[in-house]
Chain A
Amino acid sequence: MSYLRIEQLTKEFGSYRAVEGLTLTIEKGEFVSLLGPSGCGKTTTLQMIAGFVEPSAGSVVLGGKDLLAVPPYKRGLGIVFQSYALFPHMTAAENVAFGLEMAGVGRDERRRRAGDMLELVGLSGFADRFPRRMSGGQQQRVALARALVIRPSILLLDEPLSNLDAKLREGMQVELRQIQRQLGTTTVLVTHDQAEAMALSDRIVVMNKGRAEQVGPPEETYERPASAFVSDFLGRTNTLTAQVDGEGTVRLRGVAIPMAKLAPGPVSLSVRPEKVGFTEAGAGFVNAVVTAKVFQGTHWLYQLETPDGAVVVIRQNDGSGGPAEGASVGLRWAVEHCLVEPERRSAP
Chain B
Amino acid sequence: MSAAVSGDGRSRNWAPYLLSGPALLLFIGVVVAPIAMTALLSFQSWDRVKGIGDVLVLAHWREVLSDGYFAEMFLRTLRLSVIVTVLTAVIGAPEAYILHRMTSRWKGVCLLVILGPLLISVVARTLGWALLFGGANGVVNQALIKLGIISAPLPFMFTETGVAIALAHVLMPFMVLAVSASLQKVDPKIEHAAASLGARPATVVFRIVLPQVMPGLLSGAIIVFALAASSFATPAIIGGRRLKVASTLIYDEFLNSLNWPLGAVIAMILLLALVAIVAGSNRIVERRYAEAFS
Which residues of A are at the interface with B, using a C-beta cutoff of 8 A?
Answer: 50-52, 72-79, 81, 83, 85-90, 98-99, 102-103, 130-133, 143, 146-147, 150
Contacts and interface: CB of A to CB of B under 8 A. Distances in A.
A248 B191 CA distance: 59
A85 B197 CA distance: 12
A52 B194 CA distance: 12
Interface string B238-261: 000000000000000000000000
B203 A102 contact: yes
Given A73-B195, A74-B198, A79-B193, A130 B212 contact: no
B196 A73 contact: yes
Interface in B11-46: none
Query: Of residues A86, A89, A102, which shows the largest number of chain B Cβ atoms within 10 Å of its Cβ?
Result: A89
Interface string B189-229: 11011111111110100011001101000000000000000
B149 interface: no
B198 A85 contact: no
Interface of B: 187, 189-190, 192-201, 203, 207-208, 211-212, 214, 291-294
A88 B201 CA distance: 18
A77 B196 contact: yes
Contacts of A76: 198
Chain B contact surface mostly: helix
A218 to B, nearest CB: 28
Given A81-B189, A102-B199, A88 B194 contact: no
Contacts of B207: 98
A98 B294 CA distance: 23
A130 B212 CA distance: 13
15 contacts: A52-B195, A72-B195, A75-B196, A78-B196, A79-B192, A79-B193, A81-B192, A85-B189, A87-B193, A88-B190, A88-B293, A90-B292, A98-B199, A130-B291, A146-B193
A81 B291 CA distance: 23
A98 B207 CA distance: 10
The 3 closest A-B pairs by CB, nearest first: A99-B197, A102-B198, A85-B189
A113 to B, nearest CB: 13
A52 B192 contact: yes
A75 B195 CA distance: 9
Given A73-B196, A78-B196, A98-B199, 20 more contacts: A50-B192, A73-B201, A79-B193, A79-B196, A83-B187, A85-B189, A88-B190, A90-B292, A98-B197, A98-B207, A102-B198, A102-B203, A103-B198, A130-B292, A131-B292, A132-B291, A132-B293, A132-B294, A133-B291, A147-B197
